């Protein structure tokens, strides 16, 4: 029987089965499970959140193929300001730097606004001291939903509207939310209802 796990990926590990330099997401699973299971899709090393771990290659293909339009929602903190004009640009499909074609339309919304000193705990450790040299920098929290999975896509989309993500967490895949009772590094089996939702 195929196996399906909701894994809360922590920051600092890479999405790979093996890596000679870094801890991988599979290192959080028992050794006897690592050969058969694989991560479905990927999250950057400094991104946390919902990662599906499975041995079902067909489901992985369906979830990752852009023509299937599987939504993936992220919570983020970013330096900058999210204007109505920028929201409209994202909703129509923006062209990321280094690309000649626009990405698919996405949904983005602002949840709160503030200054960078209010999110100290969420800043990357290797950039915290530098970022806090500018305590009046405007930041906002938001959510963005995409249906693709290009390399560093969310970060690049925000850069294209002159915002810089400093914290990123995937909170939903295909209508299935991350179980917030899972601490980073923990996992559990998907319920039948969650699996049914993903298979849609």
**Among all residues, which ones are annotated catalytic?**
44
Kindly state the helix (H) or strand (E) to which residue 139 belongs, with its residue range. strand 138-146
The Cα–Cα gap between 142 and 152 comes to: 17
Report which DSSP code applies to 45.
T
Q: What is the dihedral of CA 81, 86, 90, 92, to 10 degrees?
A: 170
Instruction: Output the CA–CA distances (angstroms, integers) from residue 145 to 7, 56, 67, 75, 169, in the order listed.
Output: 19, 24, 16, 9, 12
Q: Considering all CA atoms of the chain, what is the largest pairwise distance in Å, rounded to the nearest integer?
A: 54
């Amino acid at each position: 029987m195929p196996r399906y796990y909701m894994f809360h990926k922590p920051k600092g590990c890479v999405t790979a089965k093996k890596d000679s330099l870094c801890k991988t997401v599979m290192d959080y699973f028992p050794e006897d499970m690592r050969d058969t299971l694989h991560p479905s899709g990927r999250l950057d090393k400094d991104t946390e959140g919902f990662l599906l771990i499975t041995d079902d290659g067909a489901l992985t293909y369906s979830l990752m193929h852009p023509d299937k339009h599987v939504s993936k929602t992220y919570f983020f903190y970013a330096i900058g300001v999210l204007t109505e004009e920028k929201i409209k640009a994202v909703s129509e499909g923006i062209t990321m730097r280094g690309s000649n074609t626009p990405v698919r339309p996405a949904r983005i919304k602002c949840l709160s606004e503030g200054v960078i000193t209010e999110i100290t705990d969420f800043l990357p450790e290797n950039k915290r001291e530098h970022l806090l040299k500018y305590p009046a920098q405007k930041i906002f929290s938001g959510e963005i939903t995409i249906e693709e999975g290009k390399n560093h896509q969310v970060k690049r989309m925000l850069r294209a509207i002159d915002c810089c993500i400093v914290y990123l967490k995937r909170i939903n895949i295909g209508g299935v939310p991350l179980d917030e009772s899972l601490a980073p590094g923990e996992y559990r089996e998907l319920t039948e209802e969650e699996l049914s939702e993903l298979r849609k």
